[in-house]
């Protein structure tokens, strides 16, 4: 480690250790507060967009490293409230596939699907959608 530090692959700036390679410069983190901030910024923040676990892993990998970082990212992702709600099962069985009857006149058969329990879309959210 000391040889790598002497060769300029590691440098210390504002209390954070950085590891520099030919193509990247990565923060080496040991402070749990910084790790929590990184996880929040790359998964929960508005700019992050609550992406999948794999995409969150890729984003974290581009700028930071710490011991057991993959495990920490996975645990953080699994504890995400939005992820839990979106992937929870309702316990209902799938219905049988049936053949749709052929229409003999316009509007003889009308189909509707109901989607409920969606999270609010913000201040200007819609309460109905017509397609």
What's the predicted TM-score (pTM) here? 0.53
The pLDDT assigned to 108 comes to 83
Position 78 pLDDT exceeds 80: yes
User: 4-16 pLDDT, tens per residue?
Assistant: 455 567 788 887 7
CA-nearest of 41, 14, 69, 46 to 122 is: 46
Asked if residue 66 is part of any domain, the answer here is yes
Whether 120 maps to a domain, the answer reads no
User: Of 84, 90, 75, which Cα lies nearest the Cα of 119?
Assistant: 84
Task: Give a yes or no: residue 12 inside a domain.
Answer: yes
Q: Give the domain CATH number at 73.
A: 1.10.340.70
φ, ψ for residue 18, nearest 5 deg = -115, 140
Residue with the bigger pLDDT between 122 and 37: it is 37
In a domain, 96, yes or no: no
Considering the domain boundaries, does residue 60 fall inside one? Answer: yes
Q: Domain range for residue 67?
A: 2-86
Instruction: Provide the domain count of the chain.
Output: 1
- Is 20 a domain residue? yes
Residue 89, pLDDT score: 61
Tokens 């929590």, residue?
Answer: 36
By mean pLDDT, which of 59-68, 76-85, 120-129 is the weakest?
Answer: 120-129
Q: Is the pLDDT of residue 83 over 80?
A: no
Long-range contacts of 78-86 (CB under 8 A, 24+ apart): 78/53, 80/43, 80/44, 80/50, 82/50, 82/119, 83/50, 85/119
The 10 Å Cβ neighbour count of residue 74 is 14
For the chain, the average pLDDT equals 77
Does 78 or 30 have the greater pLDDT score?
A: 78
- pLDDT-based confidence at residue 71 (cuts at 50, 70, 90): very high
Q: Are the C-beta atoms of residues 18 and 28 closer than 8 Å to each other?
A: yes
Distance from C-alpha of 67 to C-alpha of 74, rounded to nearest angstrom: 13
């Amino acid at each position: 480690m000391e040889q790598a530090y002497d060769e300029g692959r590691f440098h210390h700036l504002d209390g954070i250790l950085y590891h520099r390679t030919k193509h990247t410069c990565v923060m080496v983190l040991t402070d749990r507060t910084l790790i929590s901030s990184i996880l929040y910024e790359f998964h929960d923040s508005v700019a992050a967009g609550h992406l999948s676990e794999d995409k969150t892993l890729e984003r974290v990998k581009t700028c930071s490293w710490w011991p057991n970082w993959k495990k920490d990212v996975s645990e953080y992702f699994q504890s995400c409230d939005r992820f839990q709600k979106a992937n929870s099962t309702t316990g209902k069985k799938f219905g049988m596939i049936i053949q749709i009857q052929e229409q003999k006149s316009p509007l003889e058969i009308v189909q509707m699907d109901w989607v409920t329990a969606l999270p609010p879309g913000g201040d200007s959210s819609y309460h109905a959608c017509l397609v």
